[in-house]
Amino acid sequence: GDSVTQMEGPVTLSEEAFLTINCTYTATGYPSLFWYVQYPGEGLQLLLKATKADDKGSNKGFEATYRKETTSFHLEKGSVQVSDSAVYFCALSKSGGSNYKLTFGKGTLLTVNP
């Protein structure tokens, strides 16, 4: 079945450091790929998405590129802030008819220190 593997956390960085969170997937066909973020005490929020190979999703300084050849969708940010501290989830969806159910990775906890 479909699966998502993402970098184990926790990840601890200093403010303004470069961030990479690795994500690889296994799926047949052409899934859409997502990064969701969960801030403490809040629900999941969509951070960015990409729907086809070589697409780059970007939002709030975060970027991820859909790499079909390596089945990857790594999340990057050039300069993290304390406010980026959260749990980040990589996910995929495929349309099985009309059901775009999401398959998530386990999540990566990011802590950014001032």
Partner 1 sequence: DTGVSQNPRHKITKRGQNVTFRCDPISEHNRLYWYRQTLGQGPEFLTYFQNEAQLEKSRLLSDRFSAERPKGSFSTLEIQRTEQGDSAMYLCASSLTSGSRADTQYFGPGTRLTVL
Phi-psi region of 16 (alpha: psi -120 to 50; beta: other; left: phi over 0): left
Helix (H, G, I), strand (E, B) or coil at 82: helix
Residue 44 sits in the site that holds partner 1 (CB under 8 A) = yes
Residue 105 sits in the site that holds partner 1 (CB under 8 A) = yes
Say how far apart CA 66 and CA 50 lie, in whole Å: 6
Applying CB under 8 A, among 19, 49, 77, 84 the residue interacting with partner 1 is 49
For the bound state, the minimum distance from the C-beta of residue 32 to partner 1, rounded and expressed in Å, comes to 5
Residue 73 sits in the site that holds partner 1 (CB under 8 A) = no
Amino acid in the structure at residue 83: S
Size of the site for partner 1 (CB under 8 A): 27
Residue 4 sits in the site that holds partner 1 (CB under 8 A) = yes
**Alpha helices of the chain — where are they, by DSSP H?**
none
Residue 104 sits in the site that holds partner 1 (CB under 8 A) = yes
